[in-house]
Chain A
């Protein structure tokens, strides 16, 4: 029972939130559920090809290739590839997590995977173009340049933060779930 509760605590929190919202202002409940439906639909529209690509990537790209391109000794080229993969993507970051896990499973360097996730979150090219049209070139690019530098530094620093135990756990997770 306790175990079940723990596993589903996220769902419990979600529905408790709906309950609280209903008490505070019940007119917002249908609005919220409508938003939820919209989000699920837009997710289902974009996510299937991403998962197909993740599956094909897992089946076709050998571990040696990933190690050579993005592994511990891939250096600047590995980072550049991580950037390109993150920048030429679409979809919410939640679709990037399983892809990142497959990368780890195939032997990609952790800093590169971290960088890939960070780029996916905010430096996707289609979004950057849209951002420029809305905020203007100089303001948008100032923000993006700063974040680009922060992401590189943060990704490289991540290797100082994580120890061998952490890496081993990631790899086990990736082998089981990925």
Chain B
């Protein structure tokens, strides 16, 4: 567990204690509400993690290396954008992978586009996001992030080549 998780636990614990001291009834309401939104998430969550498990098994770092590798050019950039959009990878795997790709000769724009869509575009989350907001909203947020990744690729391309 990372430092940020520990901080969140401490923060939640402090606020919970303060809340109990100040108003037991309100705390009960809050906890109930938290549990309820968590349970509501579960039916989406389990299949989501099955899909993520399959993705992680199929889309290995080697595969990504082949797609984005040295002299992959424009095709590499475009595939990077799409692979990043549909895959899921925790940041502590993704960024070292980015470093490794750069070290083994992949160009900056490909790696940048892949990492940006990986973080900001979540096709696997689409069903959950539309359930909370709407399809239109989920589509729009992902579209903006995808567009941002394209801008990143262009600017990085200009600066790093």
Contacts and interface: CB of A to CB of B under 8 A. Distances in A.
Contacts of A43: 45, 49
Nearest to B149: A147
B39 to A, nearest CB: 9
A169 B127 CA distance: 17
B9 A143 contact: no
B34 A54 contact: yes
Contact of A55 (B8, B33, B119, B148): B33
A136 B33 CA distance: 42
Contacts, number: 238
A131 B95 contact: yes
Contacts of B37: 51, 54-55, 98, 177-178
A91 B127 CA distance: 18
B136 A166 contact: yes
Contact of A94 (B50, B112, B125, B152): B125
B144 A150 contact: yes
> B5, B49, B156: which has the most chain A beta carbons within 10 Å?
B49
Given A53-B12, A60-B19, A177 B50 contact: no
A101 B155 contact: no
B91 interface: yes
Given A55-B31, A56-B30, A150 B147 contact: yes
- Using C-beta atoms within 8 Å of the partner chain, give the interface range for chain B: 35 or more
B63 interface: no
Given A60-B30, A94-B125, A101-B132, A14 B51 contact: yes
B96 A151 contact: no
A3 interface: no
Given A15-B50, A39-B52, A143-B116, A56 B95 contact: no
B8 A46 contact: yes
Nearest to B118: A122
B54 A21 contact: yes
A149 B145 CA distance: 11
Contacts of B35: 51, 55
Contacts of B159: 142
Interface of A: 10-11, 13-15, 17-18, 21, 28, 31-37, 39-40, 42-43, 45-60, 89-91, 93-94, 97-98, 100-101, 114, 117-118, 121-122, 124, 126-127, 130-131, 134-135, 139, 142-143, 146-147, 150-151, 154-155, 157-158, 161-162, 166, 169-170, 173, 177-178
25 contacts: A11-B46, A17-B54, A32-B53, A32-B54, A32-B56, A35-B53, A40-B46, A46-B8, A53-B15, A55-B29, A59-B26, A94-B45, A122-B119, A127-B91, A143-B156, A146-B155, A154-B141, A154-B144, A154-B145, A154-B148, A161-B140, A169-B134, A170-B133, A173-B134, A177-B37
Interface of B: 1-5, 7-9, 11-13, 15-16, 19, 26-27, 29-35, 37-38, 40-41, 43-54, 56-58, 90-92, 95-96, 98-99, 102, 108, 112, 115-116, 119-120, 122, 125, 127-129, 132-134, 136-137, 140-141, 144-145, 147-148, 151-152, 155-156, 159
